[in-house]
Structure 1
Amino acid sequence: MLTLVTGGSGSGKSAFAEDKVLSYGEAERIYIATMHPFDGESHKRIERHRKMRAGKGFETVECYTGLKKVVLPKGCVVLLECMSNLVANEMFEERGAHEQTVQEIMAGVENLLQQAAHVVIVTNEIFSDAVTFDREMDTYLKYLGKINQEIAGKADEVTEVVYGIPVQHKSVKSQGYE
């Protein structure tokens, strides 16, 4: 089962995604961390997320690029946080996929789905700003938008978290499954 969780910065999407993973029971829980710790702010965010996960039984796997190479325990439950970091890493890091970012990340998502019983992916809603961006940022938004659309199309559930309130856009129930 694939769940996509989106929302703005500080919306509560991470807490919602963690709760979603916990709702799947006692299966082995894997947290795929994509934020490259490159400055003081990123270290603070990483520490905040570690504290949120403390005591919840997550094993952390750091993956900044190359998601399709991740090997997981069969039948585990995965929380990938966050897609927007992974896209930036693939685009800009030396070992990244660069122009092949969309294809590489989608191959990585397929890799996770083949191994895990449940995959929950967190992404960011960054498309509502009415701002003109430079070429690199436009490319980043294009790639992230394409990836989010492809994942949402494959997903069993798509939830947007707004001010801590989950808004279902697609769910197993709405598709006639339970």
Structure 2
Amino acid sequence: MNPCLCVLLLLLCLLLSIVHGLLHTLMLLQLSFCTDLEIPHFFCELSQVIKLACSDTFINNILVYLVSIMIFGLPLCGIIFSYTQIVSSILRIPSLGGRYKAFSTCGSHLSIVSLFYGTGFGVYLSSAVTDSTVKNVVASMMYSIVPQMLNPFIYSLRNREMKGALRHLISGMLPV
């Protein structure tokens, strides 16, 4: 990776984020809203704002799912493809210690990605099936706050001292 490629990737991410936000904002401006404008959430999540509309939201809902597939589905496919390549390379490592070290390095990243994508997909699938406000709030918090909070902790578990401190903490909590 050279600095030019890093800047281009950063600009691409920024551009895609701006286009994504602008697209949904412009589509929301097309809707008419009812008088009850209280969002049962602690932040303005797109699906909750769409539910407040009095006009037909079919196009907005289709757009949400199509854009979600593109923005979340394509990177997820790339991650899955990358990890199949990584796992096949790791399995060719002759030493058991080398395999363990390689898997532990990938495990922290994979756990964060699984937590983020799992809860994110769960929110959007459950919002289509159930109308439980409390479950949607908890699930939204799970994919928007928890992975970012756990990120430093999970990556620090690669450190031997952190693993030992965690084992000591857990063993102190277990009844003897």
Interval containing the TM-score (normalised by the shorter chain) = under 0.3
Q: What's the TM-score, normalizing by structure 2?
A: 0.27
Report the structure, 1 or 2, having the larger helix content: 2
